[in-house]
Amino acid sequence: MSALHKKLWRTIGKTREQFIAVVAVVTVGIAVYIAMTTAYFNLNESKEKFYRDHNFADYYFHVVKAPQQVTKQIETIPGVTRVTGRIQKDVTLVNDHNKRATARLTSYSLPIEQEINSLQLLTGRFFAEEAMAARPGEQYTRNGDIEILVDPQYAEANQLNFNDTVTIVAEGKMVPLTMVGTATGPEFIYLMKDAATLLPDPRSFGIIAMSLERAQQLLNLPGQVNQVLVTLAPGTDAEKVAEQVKSILEPYGNLAAYPRKQQLSNAMLEGELDSLKSSSRFMPAIFLGIAAAIQFVILGRMVRSQHLQIGVMKALGYNNRQVILHYTCYSVLVALCGAVLGTLLGLALASVMSRAYAVYFNLPATIGAVNIQAILYGFILSLGVSTLAGLTACRSVTAINPAESMRPEPPKGGGKTLVENLSWLWRRLDTAWKMSIRSAARNRGRFAITMMGVVFAVGMLVVSLFTIDAVDYMIESHFHQNQRYDYLIRFTSPVKENELLNITRVAGVNKAEPLLEIPVKIKFNGKNEDDSITGLNPGSTLKKLRDPREQPVEIPEAGLLISQRTAERLGAKVGDTVEVETLLGTGPARHAPVKIVGINKQLVGGGSFVSLEQANLILQERQLVSGVMLKVDPAFAAQLKEELEDMTAVSSILSRRQELDNFNQNMDSMVYSISIMVIFALLLGFAIVYNSSVISFSERQRELASLRVLGFTVKEVSGILLKENLLQSLLGVALGLPSGYLMVKGYISAVSTDLFTMPAIIYPTTYIYSALGGFFFIMVAHLLAVRGVRQLQLVEVLKNKD
């Protein structure tokens, strides 16, 4: 080992705490980069593979009903590679304890490999196409049973096993089905009933797969399908094909047509991938940026304090390049240590993230690959950033003249600062504050870097804690303020309003308010959007609506309270008249012009609202309702639910309590990721404040020791350092809070999808906790950095300099 290398090792040994602190920041940066990049890569690869292997559809068409043969006609359209006609319908599921759930009955033709959105069998075997058609060697089910596959999450949540019976309500009859296994498909990766649902809830929603023939029999649709799925050749103009398909399907009642990117599961998955991708760039950039800044400060200081040694090295014949490389090696070692530790930590985090994703996303083959490319990039990134910081910090080496370097340094230039112009303030400051302010003004670069570090750390705290606020706010506004019913009952088909009396008379119902939900297409100015219109009585108390400024709005007697999302997409505003086309699936489609009288905003899902009367007008009906909202006496709740479950006309019962429980359950994993973020933020803040304090302390040891000689106590000297520290840190905290707000805004726009917008709600307590978190890392860093005050060598002060 050369003498220079030895010197480097000893320098690191002497500054080991600083070295460790900056390595920690690099480690976190690289860990976050590798974890997120790997998780992104694996999730994306799993998705791509699943989509590819199971012929994920490029376009979806929903019709009322169409003859099966129509697919032959669609196959002839240029660009269409494959067409599948199928039946998909939401049916009521009645499970063991007579509880209601919704099943999305989906049909498949065998052989399954030919199908678009084909199934992947996870357990058991495929359903037989006809009764008793189980192949030899396979377990037989009871004669005549209709065999089905269920999605694994529903099976698990409801403890379903092979040969168990699942009962659905089809065409008004209870039909027992026999489960022969579990399976999943590319359209069911993220399994939610619709965009208005907050989170997947496998207890209340599941997929039932069966053969097309059985589905046709069950739903009384012989030879018919109600959905057509197509895959397209690469490079095909999807919209052009869609227009052609729609015109073919026109006679059969087009209900909806949407491309792959609007498919709910895919949209949710893509949304997660997008936010993962942007976080995987943003977060490491902060950490590596701060790490670079710290290294810049450490090395800059090192070069300055060792100018004598550098002078000697040069006098001995080392050239600038050798000296610069020597100091840059320090940051290269930081980068290497950080990259190695970061890779290890990152891979561990990646597997934690993959496990979390496995809970939400139903991907049969999760790819858990170690992403060599991410690791390579991590090393390049870390080394690149550190080397750059090192070279920049050491460039002043070239200016050191061996002869001059051996003279003692002149006193550092003090000078007036801007604050001094405010003489009324300046006069009120004590001497220690004056020292701190001037020292900060003299070390502007370091001051700014420390402050920025604190700004980012506090900002990150705000962002981390904000997630809790947002969820809390959503719960509060969704479950407590806007959705005031205990149960939302939906009927299998619309009924007359007076038939509701059956329900309102059930013991324990305190209040019942009817609603009429209609799936619609809203058209304006040549554009159209799928939406749903809900009719409520003006003055309804069980469902409250808010405008985009979070102010309550009432249901108008006439006119449309359009959803914010639909209004924005159509470019429609209050006063415009839009055309509403109903997509009920039974009866003829109705077209009606409706004037927009207001805009409503929902945090989750969407939906437009009208009065019950207006909804009936659109349908050209009178006093029709499709569901009812109930407020019940808690004492009767259990009994009441049982009574409701027994009513055949009821298709689903949405319990607010159950939704809330499901929501809260899903928050556990969130707490985990928030804790990690908080720890990272504290670490970042600590590392920067600690390093800057240590440097400030070491630069001023002589000055501080002379204060000790004058009679300052250890506490008073630490106090001076604390003031200087607080000056930059508090400013950092003060700026960190609004920056946190901006970071939250950025975060929201990164994670928001078409379906889901996080409210930019930050509670005051979040600011308070973030500020306290800031004080915490500042104080810990300060106390560790000024431990040396007690050991200051007073006698040294009297000795000659250098």
Partner 1 sequence: MTNTVLMRLNRITKTYHMGEVTVNALKETTLDVYRGEILVILGPSGSGKSTLLNIMGGMDLPTTGEVFFENRNLGMANDNQLTSYRRNEIGFVFQFYNLIPDLTARENVELAADLVDEPLAVTGVLRDVDLADRMDHFPSQMSGGEQQRVSIARAAVKNPRLLLCDEPTGALDYQTGKLILALLVKINRDRGSTVVIVTHNTPIGDMAHRVIRMRDGTIAEIRENASPLPPERIEW
Interface residues toward partner 1, by CB under 8 A: 410-415, 430-431, 434-435, 438-439, 442, 702-703, 706-714, 794-795, 797-801
Q: Least CB distance from residue 411 to partner 1, whole Å?
A: 5
Nearer to partner 1, 316 or 795 (CB): 795
- Cβ neighbour number for residue 156 with a 10 Å cutoff: 12
Give the DSSP per-residue string, 181-193: EEEE-GGGSS--S
Q: Least CB distance from residue 439 to partner 1, whole Å?
A: 5
How far lies 482's CA from each of 92, 392, 543, 600, 754, in Å? Answer: 26, 57, 5, 12, 21
- Cβ neighbour number for residue 233 with a 10 Å cutoff: 12
CA distance 699 to 278: 40
Nearer to partner 1, 415 or 764 (CB): 415
Nearer to partner 1, 233 or 709 (CB): 709
Give the DSSP per-residue string, 617-638: HHHT-SSEEEEEEEEE-GGGHH
Nearer to partner 1, 54 or 708 (CB): 708
Nearer to partner 1, 430 or 668 (CB): 430
- β-pairing verdict for 173-184 and 146-150: parallel
Nearer to partner 1, 698 or 753 (CB): 698
Structural tokens at position 84: 């599948």
Q: Least CB distance from residue 722 to partner 1, whole Å?
A: 16
Nearer to partner 1, 659 or 724 (CB): 724
Name the DSSP class of 275: H
CA distance 215 to 117: 17
Name the DSSP class of 477: I
Nearer to partner 1, 602 or 725 (CB): 725
Cis-peptide into 222, omega within 30 deg: no
Nearer to partner 1, 143 or 800 (CB): 800
Work out the burial of residue 299: count CB atoms within 10 Å of its CB; fewer than 13 is exposed, 13-18 middle, 19 or more buried.
Answer: buried
CA distance 151 to 156: 9
Nearer to partner 1, 192 or 797 (CB): 797
Task: Check: CB of residue 450 under 8 Å from CB of residue 458.
Answer: no
Nearer to partner 1, 111 or 410 (CB): 410
Of 273, 274, 282, whose CA–CA distance to 680 is shortest?
A: 282
**The amino acid at 700:** R
Q: Least CB distance from residue 336 to partner 1, whole Å?
A: 33
H/E run at residue 725: helix 714-751
Q: Least CB distance from residue 676 to partner 1, whole Å?
A: 41
Structural tokens at position 711: 């009679």
Task: Check: CB of residue 2 under 8 Å from CB of residue 331.
Answer: no
Q: Least CB distance from residue 302 to partner 1, whole Å?
A: 20
Nearer to partner 1, 326 or 700 (CB): 700
How far lies 718's CA from each of 17, 78, 268, 693, 723, in Å? Answer: 19, 79, 53, 11, 9
CA distance 413 to 776: 33
Task: Check: CB of residue 70 under 8 Å from CB of residue 617.
Answer: no
Nearer to partner 1, 671 or 710 (CB): 710
Q: Least CB distance from residue 703 to partner 1, whole Å?
A: 6
CA distance 654 to 669: 24
Q: Least CB distance from residue 420 to partner 1, whole Å?
A: 10
DSSP H helices, 101-237, are 152-157, 212-218
How far lies 345's CA from each of 13, 367, 506, in Å? Answer: 24, 19, 58
Q: Least CB distance from residue 786 to partner 1, whole Å?
A: 16
533 forms beta bridges with 518, 608
**The amino acid at 157:** A
Name the DSSP class of 443: T
Q: Least CB distance from residue 801 to partner 1, whole Å?
A: 6
Q: Least CB distance from residue 432 to partner 1, whole Å?
A: 8
Nearer to partner 1, 113 or 430 (CB): 430
The CA-based angle 667-670-673, given to 5 degrees, is 165
Sheet of 224-232, strands arranged across: 80-86, 224-232, 59-67, 254-259
Q: Least CB distance from residue 427 to partner 1, whole Å?
A: 12
Q: Least CB distance from residue 664 to partner 1, whole Å?
A: 55
Q: Least CB distance from residue 447 to partner 1, whole Å?
A: 13
